[in-house]
Amino acid sequence: MATIYVITILLNLIYLSYQQQCVISTYEDVDSVVSSCTDIAIDDLIVPASTTLTLNLQEGTTLTLRGNISFGFDNWSGPLVLITGSSLTVIAAPGAVFDGQGERYWDGQGIWGSLKPLLLRIEATNSVFSGINILNCPIRCSRIKDSNNVTISNWNIDNSAGDVDAAQPQNSAQNTEGIQVVTSVGISLLDSQVTNQDDCVAINSGSNVVVSDINCDGSHGLSIGSIGPSGLDADAFDENSIDNVTIKNSALVNGQNGIQIITYVDAPNGLISNVLYENITFEGPNTYGIEIQQNYRNVPPNVTTDPTPVGNVPIVNLTLRNIVGNVAASAVPVCIKCADGACLNFDWHNVTVTGVLPNDCNVNPDGYDC
Ligand SMILES: *[C@@H]1O[C@H](CO)[C@@H](O)[C@H](O)[C@H]1NC(C)=O
Ligand SMILES: *[C@@H]1O[C@H](CO)[C@@H](O)[C@H](O)[C@H]1NC(C)=O
Ligand SMILES: *[C@@H]1O[C@H](CO)[C@@H](O)[C@H](O)[C@H]1NC(C)=O
Ligand SMILES: *[C@@H]1O[C@H](CO)[C@@H](O)[C@H](O)[C@H]1NC(C)=O
Ligand SMILES: *[C@@H]1O[C@H](CO)[C@@H](O)[C@H](O)[C@H]1NC(C)=O
Ligand SMILES: *[C@@H]1O[C@H](CO)[C@@H](O)[C@H](O)[C@H]1NC(C)=O
Ligand SMILES: *[C@@H]1O[C@H](CO)[C@@H](O)[C@H](O)[C@H]1NC(C)=O
Ligand SMILES: *[C@@H]1O[C@H](CO)[C@@H](O)[C@H](O)[C@H]1NC(C)=O
C-alpha cells in the first residue's frame, strides 16, 4: 500500500512539474513556448530591432509578464508587441514593464518626423488584459484592433519623460495616444492611468465601448476619433463609424483638451452615434475644454488650414451629463464647429466649464447655452 501511495505522489509531482509555467527568457524561446504552452511567463527580454514580439497565443492561454521587456532600436512602424488570441488572460507581475525607450525616438515631430513604432497591438476575443505597465512609447502606446469582448484594466501608461521640455522641444514625444480602439466591439477600458502627449483614450471606430475610471495627465483628451483619411494612418482609419460609447467617471489634468470629438474633412463617410460622457472632470487644459470639430485637415500642426467644417461624418446623439471643467487662460472652454445639419441631438445637462476666453460654437446643444 505504502509503495503505491509513494508512487502516486511521485507521479503527481512529475505531472505538476510538467504542468508548470513555461518561461520565455530569451527571444529565441518565443515561438516554441507560444505554440506548446498555455501557461506562459515572460521574464526580462530584449526583442531584436525591427522585430515584432509576436504572441499568437493558443486559446485560453494565461500570459504573465515579468521583468523588463525592451526592444532594439530602428526607424520602423512596429508594432513592437502583437498579442492575438481568444479567451486570454494577460497579467503583469509587480514591476513588469514594456519599456519602449521612446527617448531614442522622440524628435518633437511625432508622425511628421522619423518613422516610429507602435508599441503594443492587441487583436483578441473574450480576453482580459490587466495590470500592464507601458513606459516611454516612441509614438502610439497601444491599439486594440479587430477585437471583441476585451477588458483592459489597471493599466499604467507612463510617458511623462516625453513631456515638452521648454529648453529642448525637439526632444519631446508627440502623437503618443494612450489606448486606441479600432474596429472593435464590446471593449471595456477600466481603472487606468495614462500620462502622455496625445489622446488619453481614442475611440477611432467600433461599437459598444465603455471607458470608466481613467485618470489622464497631459493628454489631448478623452476622445472620440479622430476620424481621419486613410492617408494619415491606414491602420486606424480603415473604417469610420462609431456607435454606442460611454465614457464616464474619469478625470483629466494638464494637457491640451478635456473632451474631444474631431473629424477630418477628407475622411471617408462615416457616422458617430450614441455617445455619452458622464461625470468627467478636467483641470487646466491649454487648448480646449470641450472640443467638437468637423474641420480637421491632414497637415502638420504648424500649418494653418481652412476652418470650414464638412459633414462627411455626422455626430448624432451626443449626451453630456455632470461635466465640470476649468481651463487655462489660453484655452477656449467649449468649441463646437459643426457642418450644417451634421450635428444632431446634442443633449448636454449639468455641464460647467470655466475659463477666461469666450466659448466658440456654431451649434447650441439642448440644455447648454454655448
Ligand atoms: C529595460 O531594459 C533596457 C535594456 O537593457 C534598459 O535600457 C532600460 O533602462 C530598462 N528599463 C527599465 C524600466 O528598467
Ligand atoms: C532614424 O531616422 C532619423 C531621422 O530621419 C535619422 O537621423 C537616423 O539616422 C535614423 N536611424 C536609423 C537607425 O536608421
Ligand atoms: C466576455 O468575456 C468575459 C471574460 O473573458 C466572459 O466571461 C464573457 O462570457 C464573454 N462574453 C461573451 C458574450 O462572450
Ligand atoms: C451598448 O454597449 C454596452 C456595453 O458594451 C452594451 O451593454 C449595450 O447592450 C449596448 N447597447 C446597444 C443598444 O447595443
Ligand atoms: C465620478 O468620477 C469619479 C472619478 O473621477 C469617482 O471617484 C466618483 O465616484 C464618480 N461619481 C459617481 C457619482 O459615480
Ligand atoms: C512645419 O512642420 C514641418 C514638419 O515638422 C516642417 O517640415 C516645416 O518646415 C514646418 N513649416 C513651417 C512653416 O514652419
Ligand atoms: C438617436 O437616438 C434616438 C433616441 O434614442 C434613436 O431613436 C435613434 O436611432 C438614434 N440615432 C442613431 C443614428 O443611432
Ligand atoms: C451636476 O454635476 C456635478 C459634478 O459631476 C454633480 O456633483 C452634481 O450632483 C450634478 N447635479 C445634478 C443635478 O445631477
DSSP state of 21: P
Q: Which of 245, 254, 275, 274 is nearest to 325 (CA)?
A: 254
Say how far apart CA 111 and CA 114 lie, in whole Å. Answer: 7
Given pLDDT bands bounded at 50, 70 and 90, which one contains residue 15? Answer: very low
| Catalytic residue flag (residue 198) | yes
pLDDT of res. 3 = 53
pTM of structure:
0.93
220 is catalytic: yes
Q: Which of 199, 217, 220, 233 is catalytic?
A: 220
Distance, in Å, from the CA atom of 117 to the CA atom of 158, rounded to the nearest integer, reads 17
Q: Give me 268's grid cell.
A: 471617408
What distance lies between CA 278 and its chain's CA centroid?
Answer: 19
Q: What is the pLDDT of residues 242-256, one digit of tens each?
A: 999 999 999 999 999
> Mean pLDDT in the chain?
94
CA of 176 to the centre of ligand 3 (A): 30
Q: Whose alpha carbon is nearest atom 1 of ligand 5?
A: 249
Q: Which among 342, 240, 256, 339 has a CA at the least distance from the CA of 295?
A: 339
pLDDT at residue 140 above 80? yes
| pLDDT category of residue 14 using cuts at 50, 70 and 90 | very low
Position 148 confidence tier, pLDDT thresholds 50, 70, 90: very high
Q: Report how far residue 81's alpha carbon sits from residue 115's, in angstroms, rounded to the nearest whole number.
A: 16
The predicted-structure confidence for 31-55, as pLDDT tens digits, reads as follows 999 999 999 999 999 999 999 999 9
Residues 129, 120: Cα–Cα separation, whole Å: 12
Closest CA to 65 of 42, 81, 98: 42
Grid coordinates representing 145 are 484592433
- Among protein residues, the one with the nearest Cα to ligand 8's atom 1 is 322
Three cell numbers, residue 358:
469666450
Question: Is residue 170 within 6 Å of ligand 2 at its C-beta?
Answer: no
Atom of ligand 8 nearest to the CA of 322: 2
pLDDT at 353 over 70: yes
